[in-house]
Amino acid sequence: MKRLTLFLVVICLFSTAKAQEDTDIKKYALTTQNNYIGFTSLTLLDNYLSPLEYNGFGLKIETEQRRFFSPYNPNLSHQSNVGLLLGQTFNPRRTASIMYLGLDYAWGMHYHFRPAQNLQILTGGLADISIGAKLNSRNVNNQFNVDLATNLNLSAVVLYDFKFIRLQGAFSMPAIGCMFVPVQGASYYEMFDLGNMTNTIHFSSFHNKIGFRQKYTAFFTLKKSVLSLSYANNYLKHEANNMVFKKVESTFSLGWSYDFHVFAGKRRQAPDNFVKY
């Protein structure tokens, strides 16, 4: 009986020490970075440049970063997105073209719900800023226009994990924001050199701006890497100053992913078992 009691005491002490050791292990919140490069089918409508709809193609490069705020609370995360699009579109008769160069940046937060095993539902919001430059090949008075806007977006993400595959669906849409729209017929010389910016800054919401972004991605975990295939559809339409503007993108992308953690400064020093150059 004494031996049994001693054995149970030793087991309890070992379990307590092991639990304390696991608790004392310092955790790090890794940053997951997803990189994409893809081919885009692009449609543009810009009544400042032309009443016609232009269709063409483009190259898109995107980077996403996601990370939990704390490694001890896997329910609240933040993410940032950067996208670059270079495209060329043509009018229906292919007698003129519009070159497009766009840059987007977004940052936001999501709360993670886990209603079932391997399933996560993220809800939250994103704040973004976007700028796009458009150049018409036709020799007209106003050949150039800029899209400049900032928005607060509603956002949701669904994740499901299989053994070697993760499926992801993401959706977002602008709710409120602010946008720059030139007055029809006014030149950029009048607006910026002469300072005539009247009626160029507009509040935007569902009454004058409708849009959505949806992206479906499959991540494949290979032996030494994580590769992905994705399809994204972006639709944006806004109206101001008696003009209509529209941009539609359909993008097929290849991607690769990796996790990392940044050690820098005195507060975020690398552990002793990390060897630094």
Report the CATH number at residue 125: 2.40.128.90
Domain that holds residue 105: 38-257
The phi, psi pair for 24, rounded to 5°, reads -75, -15
> Rounded to an integer, what distance in angstroms lies between the CA atom of residue 157 and that of residue 173?
12
Indicate whether 30 belongs to any domain.
Answer: no
Q: Residues near 44 by Cβ (< 8 Å), separated by ≥ 6?
A: 53, 54, 55, 56, 89, 98, 100, 134, 246, 247
DSSP 72: T
Q: CB-side exposure of 260: number of CA atoms within 13 Å?
A: 8
Indicate whether 264 belongs to any domain.
Answer: no
Indicate whether 3 belongs to any domain.
Answer: no
Indicate whether 29 belongs to any domain.
Answer: no
What are residue 68's DSSP bridge partners?
A: 77
Indicate whether 8 belongs to any domain.
Answer: no
**Is residue 213 exposed (0-12), middle (13-18) or buried (19+ Cβ within 10 Å)?**
buried
Give percent of the chain with pLDDT exceeding 90. Answer: 75
Instruction: For tokens 């193609």, name the residue.
Output: 57
Indicate whether 270 belongs to any domain.
Answer: no
> Rounded to an integer, what distance in angstroms lies between the CA atom of residue 129 and that of residue 104?
6
Please choose, from the candidates 86, 85, 89, 87, the residue with its C-alpha nearest in 3D space to the C-alpha of residue 45. 89
**Is residue 209 exposed (0-12), middle (13-18) or buried (19+ Cβ within 10 Å)?**
buried
Please choose, from the candidates 61, 32, 36, the residue with its C-alpha nearest in 3D space to the C-alpha of residue 216. 36
pTM for the whole thing?
0.86
What are residue 138's DSSP bridge partners?
A: none
Indicate whether 21 belongs to any domain.
Answer: no
Tokens found for residue 180: 């720059």
pLDDT for 7 equals 44
**Residue 33: pLDDT above 80?**
yes
Number of domain units in the chain: 1
Q: Is the dihedral of CA 197, 44, 101, 49 positive or negative?
A: negative
Tell me: the pLDDT tens digits for 192-215? Answer: 888 888 999 999 999 999 999 999
Tell me: the pLDDT tens digits for 233-263? Answer: 999 999 999 999 999 999 999 999 999 988 8
